[in-house]
Structure 1
């Protein structure tokens, strides 16, 4: 649903010059590149997931993995990016394919393409490394769904992955990466919140360059927990649909990680936002704008539930969070990327809420809105709490007072001014 008409318009500011940022600035793809980001997801170290089962810790052996993604831009050719960033040993990929999704794990007849790497149908990705496939001719349009199949003959060990996909991933025994049918893909995790394994991105190219990409950077509210499984109704999904319907399509890339924190690494929620910003935002092809929604987990999730990284850290304060946001702004500006700040959303009524945390959220939001340090501001807090009650409106959260429902994600997407990235 759309925010009420009383919701104030987006605040736009001119950003002052920023000091050098401690966030590493990774060079992004040249503006002359013909490749555009069509879909992405940040990868994480394999770990036990207390929320739901995954295949990350066990990895794969003589198994095919079939994963479905929806691209936000089209083209005539495409390629995929794979990651072994958290692998301790080389990853041997025996075969890979891509095609247009039919339904469930089936591929539309006539669209299956075998992927190659340096001309070979197999590849080895070094420990901590990444790989990009050769391009294949496969015409795609914005919002098309693509099915990517990976076959691992040898044991992979624990898998670099993205924990929360809100999309079903399928597994088959043996080599079925070239099978259009879904028959062999009988295995999936239940409940099917889903994860993506080794897959980091899909890129497209065409005859004409597209506008620069928008990257949505954040935690589970960007990742989409509470959205419809296989429904593609996270807020970045709906933002891409709005842009397409308005006649100004551009890539919208989701760089959210559930349980992620701005300041602290976590075995559950991945590397800290200030650590992963360079790879997950600035290294995206032709990125032009980033929307930053980070900080709620720093405030309300004071312990790492897996007992790993992130323990014994200094107390979270508004000043520390603001300094973290400033480091992201500085890194974005150093790469010529426009930075949009999103207000931290309410969570009164959730298990992690207390008055002290609410005061921190209020201070950070006041700074985001009034400081002028972000190039623009989108008021997600007001979109989910139009009455200013300090709570997400009942029809806009999934039942936990923290995560939006599909209607809440639509309210967030509708709050974004579609002219925000005009520079």
Structure 2
């Protein structure tokens, strides 16, 4: 039995992560659970799988990966191992998506590839999964862990675009400058080009965005707002005159290598999310192509779609500096700035500093340019706020118009926006439009 306390600590951390993701991604949970089993008794489990040396070597590499960023004397629990575990999961998925022959035995367990769908698909709790996983990881060897060390986890949840689009529709914004703080891929900056359905009942629905096909569905509870009276132009969302995102880890939105890394960060059983991500990347490629055609003087019959730009920013310290460069010098339309699941990684002190800087900049900007500024935040609860369900995010809109400031809570929603529970804030926000 393993006696090393460091190994036991990491085994416990991975077990906690497996429990957390089990309902979201069974294949991810299964991968973590195998690591937990191997770390508990590498010699015994290795004998069962026919190669104790390979299991032991994999465990040593795994523990080395998990301890690389350890700070002596500081233990914050299982969250310490979250980022390296996510990177390892994404790196392995990258090999699966790329059809690397060394991981061919694992492909039937991943719904994101052809073998993981239909009659060839397998469940990760079958008897062969442990042996197949060992064969794949052994074949990849040190290469897998070296790739993991250099991997950057990129946010890929394209459903969060509704966080800014819904408030924009409710206030009937016609045109805006759009700014995202803390984005990675920046694909939520194209939300008005997608399709979002909010459904309270079978007949009470709000359908917003410009795409024709069904894409994102949010099952809603709580207060049912007055859904009539929107024009088709309002439901399509505003014209976006600029799209700028800022992130510490600046990623290039174009390029096959970045696309592959972005796709690999999707969990291996979530084919629908992968398809929606690829649709978002296709929109960005269309925007790039239109920009190139326009620069060459060629005309296009399509509505001009401005491409998103990603700039480096260090949050929370560089809020004002970033906003000053992200917003046009001589704006003619309001600004919508938003952040989704970003401040969860801030301390309470940093979170308050971030909010203070955002409000200060927005208030000054609105007074100077005599235009409204909307700040939308979709973030996990902090102390003093109890979410109705674990992990849900509070959806808040703050409005700045000259010297006036108003904060409206829309409600709570699942971090992937698949469910939401609204309060009276939706009606309150829409009333502001009606009173204009």
TM-score (norm 2): 0.29
TM-score (norm 1): 0.30
More strand by share: 1
Greater RCO structure (CA 8 Å; 6+ sep): 1
